A and B are shown apart, each in its own frame.
Chain A
């Protein structure tokens, strides 16, 4: 977030650097003589720095302290609300008095600036999203050309059979285009979650769906020397929205991405009378107990996933959780810590488990 000079200069409170806590701009306040004299050990400062509450609170010595946390900045403020204040304390704090007019002006400037930044960011996002429309069209052309080439090589039979007989290089172009479609769908679902329930529910063969994405993802697994194996069996179909297709893509993609070098990703699909059970498991950076729920939040990544150096946006699992929610599919994570470290990162067997009602 960039603030204009006007905003910084008008700030009636000290602004400090987020990481170093050094004074950055705004008005620097003198420590009142009363505090200097009575609280030499700077308990007040300690209290201020250790207090993470963003709502104004009263410090133990009668001042009301506030702390506002921004993305790159923090504002500390101290308002003296005590009416029965000793004269000595009142006098010593006089130099720090900020007028209400100045606070109001600053608040208005801040509001205006924030609004401008939000508008600009919304416009930029909108522009970027409209590019997606063109990307979809280009992707459609790639797919159409691949399909035509597949058809040209085998006419007079069903397109499905023609596809099966096509050379692998041609099929891999088609599969890459399908992966891109999935990634574009993920962006749609991220910005417009109501798209998750678009269209109608289809009876979906869950095993075949995961197997299809496994085959498409093989190229990525090979590039990382990861074994991608499918176990179990299931012949049942479940009524699901087509958005469900993004789920294997997110889970398998993540498992390949975070798996230890030379590791194995196991996709298991089994069923009983009522349920289809799917799990995607791999050994990768440990997900700690307190993160088990959090990693399904928007733009949140596990601390060891972050530390492992693997790039990620914290979007995939959030989208996966929404897709599950709208399709009445349960999604849970089971973690089994493993011995050893990879790239200074502790590891665990991470199993994402889906339960789908037939």
Chain B
């Protein structure tokens, strides 16, 4: 069966819920073991600049990010609400798919301050492994080049 839009949309919904409900230990399980994950902005992407605020080339690095967040880093309590749009499926077959999906992340601080923290698109490459849909690559291309204060919870 070919990977389809609905499958990717359902994947993204679960992905967003996992982050927003603070089940972050599960976040790496959406990726392949040798995944790529990068948070950048569209200006860097347009200019072909490879850097990322987060730059990952293994799933273990995703686990490490969550451990660091839980145990090491200092930040004020905050949570996200993702609104993830419908994916545009650029190509798909049984084992691979390329898609781009818009997102909005609203950040609520423990003080109650609620702001739009980021908007952008997920630029994704999916694969099927053991009949499970996984991200081989997710580039989080933020519309704005500005990050407020700090980025601790992943997008």
Is chain B found bound to chain A in the same assembly?
Answer: no
Which residues in B have some Cβ–Cβ distance to A below 8 Å?
A: none
Which residues in A have some Cβ–Cβ distance to B below 8 Å?
A: none
